Amino acid sequence: MKLEKLVGDRFREKPADCIVDSHALMMRGGYIKYVANGIYSSYMPLKRVTRKIEEIIREEMDAIDGQEVQFPVVMPASLWQESGRYESIGKEMVRFHDRSNSPLVLGMTHEEAAVSLVREYGQSYTKYPFMIYQFQTKFRDEARPRAGLIRVREFTMKDAYSFHTNQADLEEYYARCHDAYHRIFFRVGLPDVISVASDSGMMGGSISHEFMLLTPVGEDSIVICKECDYRANMEAHHAGPDMTCDVRNTDLHDSAKVQEGDICPHCKKPALSVSRGIEVGNIFQLGTKYTRSMNMTFTGKNGETQYPVMGCYGIGIGRLAASICEAHHDDHGPIWPLAVAPWQIHLCAVRADAPGVKACADALYGKLQSNGIEVIYDDRPVSTGIMFSDADLIGAPFRAIISPRNIRQNIVEIVSRDKKFSTAVPIETAAEQIRLILTDAQ
Amino acid sequence: MKLEKLVGDRFREKPADCIVDSHALMMRGGYIKYVANGIYSSYMPLKRVTRKIEEIIREEMDAIDGQEVQFPVVMPASLWQESGRYESIGKEMVRFHDRSNSPLVLGMTHEEAAVSLVREYGQSYTKYPFMIYQFQTKFRDEARPRAGLIRVREFTMKDAYSFHTNQADLEEYYARCHDAYHRIFFRVGLPDVISVASDSGMMGGSISHEFMLLTPVGEDSIVICKECDYRANMEAHHAGPDMTCDVRNTDLHDSAKVQEGDICPHCKKPALSVSRGIEVGNIFQLGTKYTRSMNMTFTGKNGETQYPVMGCYGIGIGRLAASICEAHHDDHGPIWPLAVAPWQIHLCAVRADAPGVKACADALYGKLQSNGIEVIYDDRPVSTGIMFSDADLIGAPFRAIISPRNIRQNIVEIVSRDKKFSTAVPIETAAEQIRLILTDAQ
């Protein structure tokens, strides 16, 4: 792809309303465009990132026996009345009526739809366990969208739902999914994501984990004990046994504070601390809440009627992309990990009007393309400063530079976006060298 | 994938409310589940079909320099007020208010969003032409959803928008897209799709083409002249120069009839006939309607301010899947073309409890999987009748059968779903033979 043809503007100035770096860089780099409060359109570079993220998630969901399905965005209110959530969920759920005055809602999560899809299928214990998942648009009418793609109203989510004959089977699967989530975050370039348990146990409550990228710009506060493995989000830490987990991504906005050195509820030592983080995923043991309320049953081995036990597992795609950007950037732009980068290499023809530069760069561009390498090629007649600042904003992990000086020396410079790697290779073998560098980096 | 684990029920009885074959077969085969009027969930087999369709479309859109982007499902009313369509479109557009009482709509098409995305980018003639496209959920509150996925309220659409400095450039690109559409329909297994021009010309109207799969169950009537190349949908035939094309997929429901042998408006011979068809795609020359109303301008070569000229290009993914099923099925199920089949081959272990059958089938299943062949494997202890009728409903283009008799003869039977091809190969080389057969069929 030629950068000259890439739709979207890039600019140097940080937009005034951007507090979080990923928000500013996604605006500056031509990744997103504001449409309305908490609603964005995506340009091609972001779409390429999110498609790669989705493919990684898809592979990991398939690897734990997930089946990709699709639920609708628009659902009849009746489905949500069955579970009781039509009444219990507040203004964040959009409700409207269609032309025949039937009440409909916009899906903000899909437990009801999942139960409805498999209610007839799952009538015998022999069908269990199974897991279904989708990538689908969600709309939540948040009161306070913020920070670009970190907290929006419309977003794409991977949501998965597992069904089991008993709690032990759910727990086993839940552990598999927990591991799959760590693999996903590792593969997209966030190996440091931690899982934070939120065990509200006891009174029929549910077990859940949030996956947190620790960063000062995160909107969630995580209570961490320095002496034991106690970790809880602020909400779970304060809510205790009565906490409900139905609607995910609720946040407490720090109405209650935890002081450094407070007493840990588990080890009883004065060792609590608070870190901030972005919730990049969550997993829940739902129990029989939805199967019971929606009357989904199966016949057990001995003929008895039982309610299946459910788990659910979510990852917001746009928020994950923003989190990767948050974890991997400098002042000049994102530094995309190779696995999710919009392009693998950014080819710069510096002073394309100088003798030999354009011909050499064109030839390398052709070779890279025919080798199946994802290359974005800048042959515009612009200054080196503009060329490199645009490349910084595109954030391809590697850059190949062809300039008049390099031509004289018969080399192509190859540098990594994070500046940790740089080399010069002969022009003749540059395509092959780049292929090897990319293979090494994978 | 083991068929035993496939979520979804299959059944032999035609559902009472299914008039169209593809609807009945998609219900019977566990492809879709009714959620509400004109709203369905998809099970894994359909999701696999639609993902393959989307990938083919993506390749063809990229090949004509398209850039994949994404617009939101939920949009502010203000965007549609700019174009004037907030008022002009009727009840098929869902309107609602958010928690702060701002008016929003559900996207039924995305011309406004497209103009909004590129309005700043496209300020200089040097940026043109460009095309952006997306795959996105649309919601149209149709009065009469019908025929399963043929006419629904919620659906996924590939919609593309091209921008040009002048009409001639649009026309050139429009022709490229017209060709790309024929390639898409060819590749998904519908080589006989015809394009029907709807030229309402003259009074600033727009040129458009509908791509029609001719079939008696189609809901559109196409007027075809037997003496010249006049083809028009019923609406265009009757509407003449004042026809507007803004909202696609409108239909006339045959309020006005054309008789066989009526006079052709072009060649003036009494040679009109009427065929029925499903509209599987459409392309429009929009002119400056949206750029003008939304005040998108560019500076031309000589400094003059001009409105860009637009084209738009749609394909409904679910409707296309249903149309493929409509064109390729028998009484027993779909006969998916290889390029879009949920699985390439269906492996049947007939009487898996008989000596040798299961071990042989398991081994072949493993080999096929490690060769990257998409195989669905039925090793259930069910009758041959159930096994084969399920395979018919899954519709994989090839079937491999391992039975006690085949084991004794040391062969694997391979038959095509359409029964036009059948062979027997030695068990030892079956995996390799299947690979060759699939390669040949591609």
Question: What integer pLDDT is reported at residue B106 of this predicted model?
Answer: 97
* pLDDT of B66 over the 50 cut: yes
* pLDDT of B142 over the 60 cut: yes
Question: What integer pLDDT is reported at residue A361 of this predicted model?
Answer: 97
The average pLDDT across B156-163 equals 98
Reported confidence tier of residue B235, pLDDT bands at 50, 70, 90: confident
Nearest to B174 by CA among B287, B280, B83, B278: B287
Q: Give me the total of CB pairs closer than 8 Å, taking one residue from chain A and one from chain B.
A: 157
pLDDT per residue over B309-323, tens digit each?
A: 999 999 999 999 999
pLDDT per residue over A32-85, tens digit each?
A: 999 999 999 999 999 999 999 999 999 999 999 999 999 999 999 999 999 999
* C-alpha span between B108 and A58 (Å, rounded): 28
Pick A118's closest partner by Cβ from B7, B47, B96.
B7
The average pLDDT across B124-142 equals 97
Q: Who wins on pLDDT, A254 or B16?
A: B16
Q: Which of B35, B44, B92 to mutate to test the interface with A (most CBs of A within 10 A)?
A: B35
* C-alpha span between B113 and B69 (Å, rounded): 11
* pLDDT of B128 over the 80 cut: yes
Nearest to A275 by CA among A210, A190, A205: A210
Task: List the beta strands (DSSP E) in A27-179.
Answer: 32-36, 39-42, 66-68, 74-76, 95-97, 103-106, 130-139, 154-164
* pLDDT of B190 over the 70 cut: yes
* pLDDT of A292 over the 70 cut: yes
Closest alpha carbon within chain B to A9: B121
Reported confidence tier of residue B246, pLDDT bands at 50, 70, 90: very low
Q: Measured between CA atoms, how close is B311 to chain A, in angstroms?
A: 16
Which residues are within 8 A (CB) of A157 and not within 5 positions of it... i.e. 6 or more apart? Answer: A135, A136, A137, A138, A314, A315, A316, A317
Question: What integer pLDDT is reported at residue B229 of this predicted model?
Answer: 82
CB neighbourhood size of A398 (10 A): 24
What does the radius of gyration of chain A's CA atoms come to, in whole angstroms? 25
The average pLDDT across B266-289 equals 93
Q: Measured between CA atoms, how close is A265 to chain B, in angstroms?
A: 38
| Contact residues on chain B for A118, CB-CB shorter than 8 A | 7
| Contact residues on chain A for B132, CB-CB shorter than 8 A | 7, 44
Question: What integer pLDDT is reported at residue A240 of this predicted model?
Answer: 54
For the ranges A195-199, A296-300, A337-341, the lowest mean pLDDT is seen at A195-199
Question: What integer pLDDT is reported at residue A266 of this predicted model?
Answer: 86
Pick A47's closest partner by Cβ from B6, B40, B68.
B68
| Contact residues on chain A for B308, CB-CB shorter than 8 A | none
Question: What integer pLDDT is reported at residue A233 of this predicted model?
Answer: 81
Q: Measured between CA atoms, how close is B33 to chain A, in angstroms?
A: 7
SS3 of B108, please?
A: coil
* pLDDT of A1 over the 70 cut: yes
Question: What integer pLDDT is reported at residue B258 of this predicted model?
Answer: 87
* pLDDT of A127 over the 50 cut: yes
pLDDT per residue over A308-334, tens digit each?
A: 999 999 999 999 999 999 999 999 999
* C-alpha span between B353 and B94 (Å, rounded): 56
Question: What integer pLDDT is reported at residue A199 of this predicted model?
Answer: 60
Pick A9's closest partner by Cβ from B98, B121, B154.
B121
CB A202 within 8 A of CB A241: yes
CB neighbourhood size of B271 (10 A): 17
Closest alpha carbon within chain B to A110: B41
User: In Å, how far from its chain's centre is CA A289?
Assistant: 27
pLDDT per residue over A354-381, tens digit each?
A: 999 999 999 999 999 999 999 999 999 9
pLDDT per residue over B27-46, tens digit each?
A: 999 999 999 999 999 999 99
Instruction: Indicate yes or no: CB of A91 within 8 angstroms of CB of B70.
Output: no
Instruction: Indicate yes or no: CB of B94 within 8 angstroms of CB of A92.
Output: no
| Contact residues on chain B for A33, CB-CB shorter than 8 A | 116-117
User: In Å, how far from its chain's centre is CA B389?
Assistant: 26
- Phi then psi for B272, rounded to 5 degrees? -80, 145
* C-alpha span between B414 and B432 (Å, rounded): 12
CB B41 within 8 A of CB A69: yes
pLDDT per residue over B330-357, tens digit each?
A: 999 999 999 999 999 999 999 999 999 9
For chain B, give the mean pLDDT. Answer: 92
* pLDDT of B242 over the 60 cut: no
For chain A, give the mean pLDDT. Answer: 92
Reported confidence tier of residue A230, pLDDT bands at 50, 70, 90: confident
pLDDT over 90 percentage in chain B: 83
Reported confidence tier of residue A218, pLDDT bands at 50, 70, 90: confident
* pLDDT of A286 over the 90 cut: yes
Q: CA of A301: how far to CAs of A119, A126, A129, A264, A305, in Å?
A: 18, 8, 14, 44, 10
Reported confidence tier of residue A241, pLDDT bands at 50, 70, 90: very low
Q: What torsion do the CA atoms of A132, A134, A139, A142 make, to the nearest 10 degrees? A: 70
* pLDDT of A219 over the 90 cut: no
Q: Measured between CA atoms, how close is B45 to chain A, in angstroms?
A: 8
Task: List the beta strands (DSSP E) in B56-193.
Answer: 66-68, 74-76, 95-97, 103-106, 130-139, 154-164
Question: What integer pLDDT is reported at residue B182 of this predicted model?
Answer: 97
Closest alpha carbon within chain B to A71: B41
Q: Who wins on pLDDT, B268 or A205?
A: B268
| Contact residues on chain A for B36, CB-CB shorter than 8 A | 72, 74-76, 102, 104
pLDDT per residue over B370-388, tens digit each?
A: 999 999 999 999 999 999 9
pLDDT over 70 percentage in chain A: 94
Question: What integer pLDDT is reported at residue A229 of this predicted model?
Answer: 82
Reported confidence tier of residue B124, pLDDT bands at 50, 70, 90: very high
For the ranges A180-194, B262-276, B283-297, B301-315, the lowest mean pLDDT is seen at B262-276
The b-or-e profile of B95-111 (16+ CB within 10 A means b, else e) is: ebebeeeeebbbbbbbb
Say what angle helices B317-327 and B21-28 make with each other, to 10 degrees.
100
Q: Who wins on pLDDT, B254 or A412?
A: A412
* pLDDT of B245 over the 80 cut: no
Q: Which of A70, A149, A161 to mutate to test the interface with B (most CBs of B within 10 A)?
A: A70
ipTM: 0.93
pLDDT per residue over B290-301, tens digit each?
A: 999 999 999 999
* C-alpha span between A60 and B59 (Å, rounded): 25
Question: What integer pLDDT is reported at residue A207 of this predicted model?
Answer: 87
Instruction: Indicate yes or no: CB of A92 within 8 angstroms of CB of B102.
Output: no
| Strands A411-416, B422-426: pairing kind | unpaired
Reported confidence tier of residue B256, pLDDT bands at 50, 70, 90: low
Instruction: Indicate yes or no: CB of B139 within 8 angstroms of CB of A98.
Output: no
* pLDDT of A235 over the 80 cut: no
Instruction: Indicate yes or no: CB of A41 within 8 angstroms of CB of B76.
Output: no
* pLDDT of B80 over the 60 cut: yes
Question: What integer pLDDT is reported at residue B130 of this predicted model?
Answer: 98
